[in-house]
Structures are given as structure tokens and as C-alpha cells.
Amino acid sequence: MLAYLSRYTHRVAISNSRLSRLDESGVTFRYKDYRRDGINRQQVMTLATDEFIRRFLRHVLPHGFHRIRHYGLLAGSARKASLARPRELLNVAAPSDDDTTDEPDNFRPPCPAVAAA
């Protein structure tokens, strides 16, 4: 189960290196068929562009959903209390509220032309 999950938790649905061709016939890409063994495991598939996009977008999580939740020390409800003692032992100050922001450093607001559409 862990090997299965590890293939999907921190990756994009498909990497650029697996994309072989994009033309009027569609998108051609390589994939591993885990039901086969040996050299036949690597397969090639061509999908119509709209079908490729539909399948790709099935891997995009809706806004507000998280791929991995934290438990234990990093659980949201107990994080502050759980991390206080390790910080004390390591002599590390807790980050100030000014250090945190809701927006990443590379945040760009959406293009007005796209937002209006």
C-alpha cells in the first residue's frame, strides 16, 4: 500500500519527460502498466487532447482540499502546544505572526482578462 501511495502523493499527474508528442491526433505519452511484468511494462498511449485534459484535471484537487493531512505533532489543533517543548529544548524561537503570510512569495493575482471570462 505504501509503495502505491508514494507514487502519487507528491507528484504532478504526469511529468514532461513522459510526454512524447502533441499534434492534431492528440497527446502521446508513456506510462507503466503495473499489471504487466518485464519489458512490456512500459506502454505508449495516444489520447485526444480534450480527453487527455479531462483525465489530467481529475488529479487536481478542489480549492481547500489537501493531498496529505498532518497528524501527531503537526496536527492543526495541537501544533502550538506540541511544538512548544521541542522548541524549548532546541532553544529555537517560535516564528512570529509577522513571519507568516497566506500568500506565497511568488503569488500573482489572476489576470483580469481571465477572471472576467
Question: What DSSP letter does each residue of 41-74 carry, written as one string?
Answer: GEEEEEE-HHHHHHHHHTTSPPTT--SS---GGG
Report the mean per-residue pLDDT for the chain: 81
Cα distance between residue 35 and residue 80, in whole Å: 45
Is it the case that residue 104 has pLDDT exceeding 70?
no
Would you list the domain boundaries of the chain? Answer: 2-57
Cα distance between residue 30 and residue 20, in whole Å: 7
Cα distance between residue 94 and residue 88, in whole Å: 9
pLDDT of residue 47: 96
Pairwise pLDDT comparison (55 vs 8), residue with the higher score? 55
Find out whether 29 and 12 touch, Cβ atoms under 8 Å.
no
pLDDT of residue 31: 92
Q: How many C-beta neighbours within 10 Å does residue 29 have? A: 20
pTM of the predicted structure, to 2 decimals: 0.50
